[in-house]
Amino acid sequence: MQLKNDLLLRVIKGEEVERTPVWLMRQAGRILPEYRAVRDSVSGFIELAKTPELAAEVTIQPVDILGVDAAIIFSDILVIPEAMGLPYEMVEKRGPWFPNTVRSESDIKKIHIPDVKDSLSYVLEAIKITKKGLNGRVPLIGFAGAPWTIFAYMVEGSGSKTFSKARAMLYQEPVLAHSLLEMITIATVKYLKAQVEAGANLVQLFDSWAGILPPDHYREFSLKYIDTICNAITEVPVTVFAKGAFFARREMGELNCDVVGLDWNMDISESRELVGNRKVFQGNLDPAALYGSEDSIKAATSRMMASFGGARHIANLGHGLYPDLDPGKVKLFIDLVKSYPR
């Protein structure tokens, strides 16, 4: 189907565009009253994500309400460990929790590389329903967690400020760590390819906990596996967003990906020098800037847009939307980007 709004894909291809495309990480979520109404109709986040019709509905909401230039399928990065045999729960105000973790060789033997078309069929069905509902209005983004970030949850068992158990394994049991990372990588490649087959126009890898590793460990235990995934996904453009990995920007420029996401602590001109000109940048307004007044949001948006200098750029935040942000101010940011002169 021909896309009515293909700005995002044209920027990635290096074609001329009339304005900078914009979408937001976590745009389908708690800032929207319409999302909360759907969420309240089920038992919680996981049921919502596993109900394809509802997942499609909340995926499309930001396109209708905020006017973004892309939809991103409503799901969770932790569906991969669950499909591998490590189920999780979403604890209100605390986040994900795994009753079982992977700490030993015997634990690894209890998990498996899944048949993603079976175990993750609900995500693939949500993509198909979303594509039908979008009717070519904007592209649909599929996504997965980067292997290190998934590994961190599978070993730690929950979110953490330090992920000390996961990081300890890299020092104490590096061979075991690589075995788990390889399994996650194989599963992730299968999952992303299935998303593309279901209709995703591009995919994004989220390495949410990239910034807690030292550079040498990041190269060995994260970048290596991201590289494998980027090389495997040849059907559609790939975006890599590694939060906090300011020390790996030069290596990001060498990945076989199309787009590099920048968090709000990564200076734009310095990043361009390190990454080079071959990659499209995505980002990178501080999400907290949207707590400011309308005037301060206008100033912050103008500074960001000017810093990118009209180069190949997908406007976004430097991380996901915070749940207590005012939807009106989020919409203001999107409209400011759309009206910014090229």
* Active-site pick, 6, 35, 69, 76: 76
Number of H helices, E strands in the chain: 17, 9
- Number of Cβ atoms within 10 Å of the Cβ of 293: 9
**30 flagged as catalytic:** yes
**Could you tell me whether strands 95-97 and 89-91 are parallel, antiparallel, or unpaired per DSSP bridges?**
antiparallel
From 152, 139, 143, select the one nearest 101 (Cα to Cα): 152
What would the two tokens of residue 62 be?
């930001």
- The 3-state DSSP class for residue 303 equals helix
**258 flagged as catalytic:** no
Strand partners, 145: 206
Provide the residue type at 315 as one letter. Answer: A
* Active-site pick, 10, 19, 30, 219: 30
**250 flagged as catalytic:** no
* Active-site pick, 35, 39, 69, 88: 39
**26 flagged as catalytic:** yes
* Active-site pick, 6, 69, 103, 153: 153
Strand partners, 283: 315
* Active-site pick, 10, 19, 26, 36: 26
State the Cα–Cα distance between residues 177 and 155, nearest whole angstrom. Answer: 9
Evaluate whether 101 touches 108 at the Cβ level (below 8 Å): no
| b/e per residue 90-104 (b: at least 16 CB within 10 A) | beeeeebebeebbbe
**218 flagged as catalytic:** no
State the Cα–Cα distance between residues 239 and 205, nearest whole angstrom. Answer: 6
How would you classify residue 309: left for phi > 0, otherwise alpha for psi between -120 and 50, otherwise beta? left
State the Cα–Cα distance between residues 119 and 1, nearest whole angstrom. Answer: 28
Provide the residue type at 49 as one letter. Answer: A
Q: Show which residues are catalytic.
A: 26, 30, 39, 76, 153
